[in-house]
Structure 1
Amino acid sequence: MAELMKAVQYSSYGGGPAALQHKEIPVPAPDAKKMLVKVEAASVNPVDWKIQGGIGRPLLPAKFPHTPGTDIAGEVVKVGSEVKDFAPGDKIVAWLDTKHGGSLAEYAVASPKYSVVRPSEVSPIDGACLPVAGLTALQGLTNGGMNFDGSFSGNVLITAASGGVGTYGVQIAKIGGAHVTATCGERNIDLIKSLGADEVLDYKTPEGKKLISPSGKKYDLVLNTASAVSFADIQPQLAPKGIVFELNPTPKNLLVAAARKLSLSKQRYNVLLLAAESRNLELLVNWVKEGKLRTIIDSKYPLAKAEDAWKKSKEGHAVGKVVVTVTEE
């Protein structure tokens, strides 16, 4: 008889937090190229509940019922015959592919391609928060010309900076040497300043709505994580060769991005889709280890209350990351 584990699943599109079901299902078996991980902690990202809502329909998820979630920290308990760089007992941070998910469970199958060793200085909770939010922020900034050798001196705007991507993005941009302007609600201004932002705009003020930098600087690079902010809002404050990375892949934004590619303007607008790489995840983990990057935790929930974590993320007001603890309390 197969060993069973606790997992959270949904069986169809839609339904939100109420559609999440607590089940006992067989522990998954990794193939020759994968490994089985005992999950210590996981984090919830907006893409998780957007997939439930049908944003990737019919390609995502791979099948129903679906165990959602992609971000984990845990311990390797079994490796496939072709896995060479990891062994049982290794503590790791991993990104699970979006199509298959699997983080909201006691065990998950991870690929070595998207996994890195987690040093003891990095807690399971910190590790579990890094993959989607940290990698997205890092990818946008590096794609925009930041290489962390001290040569980047541009002005960066990060909208909705109090979210998961934003809190990492502000810190990573400062590591890269940028001048950082960030937007957030009034209650989070001090937090975003503490993460290193040079200027913080309350998005509800006239200046905040127009994204006007207090220093008068135009933006060379923008990470737009705010769904209410459009390219039309950003463009008046964008440098002549400025580039915007849009994190909300709506049909409208995809059309705008396509149109911009056909224009003669040197101002660029790209919808950013995560392309996870272990070397980037390793960089993030090392920054946490070295104390250069910290994770802002909004709230923590046990696996038995995963629907509350789902609801908290979906409400859109989380400051930093929403965490689900599995074996890590």
Structure 2
Amino acid sequence: MSKNLMRAVQYSKYGGGVDGLKHVEVPIPSPKKDEVLIKIEAAGINPIDWKIQNGVARPFLPRKFPHVPGTDVAGEIVQVGSGVGSFKAGDKVVAVLGDGGALAEFALAKEGSTVPRPPGVSALEAAALPIAGLAAHQSLTQHAGLKLDGTGPKVNVLVTAASGGVGTYAVQLAKLANAHVTATCGARNMDLVRRLGADEVLDYKTPEGKALTSPSGRKYDIIIHCTTNIPWSTFKPNLTPKGKVVDTTPGFGTLMSVAMKKISCSKKQLIPVFTAPKKENLDFLVKLVKAGKLKPVIDSKHHLSKAGEAWGKSIDGHATGKILVEP
């Protein structure tokens, strides 16, 4: 392979799932103004990646075909574009890629979406952070109003799908906010979720888990909803009078429910979350990992040559924590 080429995984049309992914050699990109070129050490896969392949954001994403998917990367900067003042070649970083590109050996990132990766935070831990960690952080702070330094009022929080990528972070961050945390997950992950800090854990397949009923009879001030197909009618009786459901995976049903809620008299809220790649939030999360206050949960790691396995595992929907790919 030429030194100017890199290995990458891409797809050329909507649909196709794992079979739509192709292993290719493409030119290594060059950074433009305010961009850095990262030699990728690890990349994270998120459900939104294959949902985009399925056309969920058509016609806006991907911006063009063929498309190299993925947004979460950790690695080392090998080149900086003009105007970049905060990084240099050799710096270890974690970044959110605006236009995809994570399933490759190199990727371009905006300086404004890149943060330092300190010693003691591995590439795998860092690559597991961005989208899932940001979704949990922004749900709890911006939308639910929790203070992660523990100075806010004591609240009751429910996290659904607590053993998934977003859920594992939501449980830990809610505990930093001094919340009482109830969590749902599959039976095989209940001990893990307890170790992450959950006070009460429900098997989502049991009657209590399906009803989201707290074992201690608590009503929830906040529900961080990290899965799909739970109707508002299930949430509503479990909420306090001003309780909030923060939906990290909003679909058409959520948006319709929000529209209907706006014409109701209830003070209970359903809030869809669309995660933003905020640099200060990502830097905060990286520092929590460095301090040992936040632990990324890694389901599995796959070589880039086996990216299809990782892609299929994410589509299957039963990962415990994050699925990662290494070039």
**Shorter-chain TM-score: what band?**
over 0.9
Answer yes or no: is the 8 Å Cα contact 1:261–1:268 preserved in 2: no
Measure how far apart 1:249 and its partner are. 2.3
**Who is 1:269 aligned against?**
270
Measure how far apart 1:226 and its partner are. 1.7
Answer yes or no: is the 8 Å Cα contact 2:139–2:248 preserved in 1: no
Structure 1: which 5+ residue stretches go unaligned?
Answer: none
Deviates more, 1:117-126 or 1:257-266: 257-266
**Who is 2:103 aligned against?**
104
Aligned residue for 1:262, secondary structure, equals: coil
**Who is 2:17 aligned against?**
16
**Who is 2:134 aligned against?**
135
**Who is 2:179 aligned against?**
178
Where do residues 202-281 of structure 1 align in structure 2 (5 Å cutoff)?
202-281=203-282
Measure how far apart 1:259 and its partner are. 2.0
Measure how far apart 1:135 and its partner are. 0.4
**Who is 1:125 aligned against?**
124
**Who is 1:156 aligned against?**
157
Letter in 2 for 1:147: K
Structure 2: which 5+ residue stretches go unaligned?
Answer: none
- Partners of 2:201 and 2:66 lie apart in 1 by 43
Letter in 2 for 1:276: P
**Who is 2:29 aligned against?**
28
Aligned residue for 1:283, secondary structure, equals: helix
Q: CA RMSD in A?
A: 1.1
- Partners of 1:305 and 1:152 lie apart in 2 by 47
Measure how far apart 1:263 and its partner are. 2.6
Aligned residue for 1:306, secondary structure, equals: helix
Letter in 1 for 2:131: V
Q: Deviations over 1:149-183 (max 9, x none)?
A: 32131100000111000011100110111110000
- Partners of 2:35 and 2:232 lie apart in 1 by 41
**Who is 2:146 aligned against?**
146
**Who is 2:194 aligned against?**
193
Measure how far apart 1:2 and its partner are. 8.3
- Partners of 1:275 and 1:316 lie apart in 2 by 23
- Partners of 1:85 and 1:73 lie apart in 2 by 17
Runs of 4 or more, structure 1, over 6 Å off, are none
Letter in 2 for 1:124: A
Q: Deviations over 1:54-107 (max 9, x none)?
A: 00011110100000000000111111111111111110010111xx20000000
- Partners of 2:153 and 2:309 lie apart in 1 by 41
Q: Deviations over 1:237-285 (max 9, x none)?
A: 0111011111222212111112223333211101110012111101110
- Partners of 2:146 and 2:224 lie apart in 1 by 13
Answer yes or no: is the 8 Å Cα contact 1:182–1:201 preserved in 2: yes
Q: Deviations over 1:83-135 (max 9, x none)?
A: 111111110010111xx200000000001111110011100000001000000
Provide TM-score, normalisation by structure 2: 0.97
Answer yes or no: is the 8 Å Cα contact 2:161–2:183 preserved in 1: yes
Deviates more, 1:144-153 or 1:73-82: 144-153
Answer yes or no: is the 8 Å Cα contact 1:160–1:182 preserved in 2: yes
Letter in 2 for 1:145: G
- Partners of 1:310 and 1:94 lie apart in 2 by 20
**Who is 2:78 aligned against?**
77
Letter in 1 for 2:102: S
Aligned residue for 2:24, secondary structure, equals: strand
- Partners of 2:128 and 2:91 lie apart in 1 by 18
Q: Deviations over 1:193-226 (max 9, x none)?
A: 0000000011111111111111111111111112
- Partners of 1:261 and 1:164 lie apart in 2 by 30
Provide TM-score, normalisation by structure 1: 0.96
Letter in 1 for 2:124: I
Aligned residue for 1:223, secondary structure, equals: strand
**Who is 2:64 aligned against?**
63
**Residue-pair matches, total:** 324
Aligned residue for 1:12, secondary structure, equals: coil
Aligned residue for 2:262, secondary structure, equals: helix
Deviates more, 1:149-158 or 1:49-58: 149-158
- Partners of 1:32 and 1:313 lie apart in 2 by 34
Aligned residue for 1:299, secondary structure, equals: strand
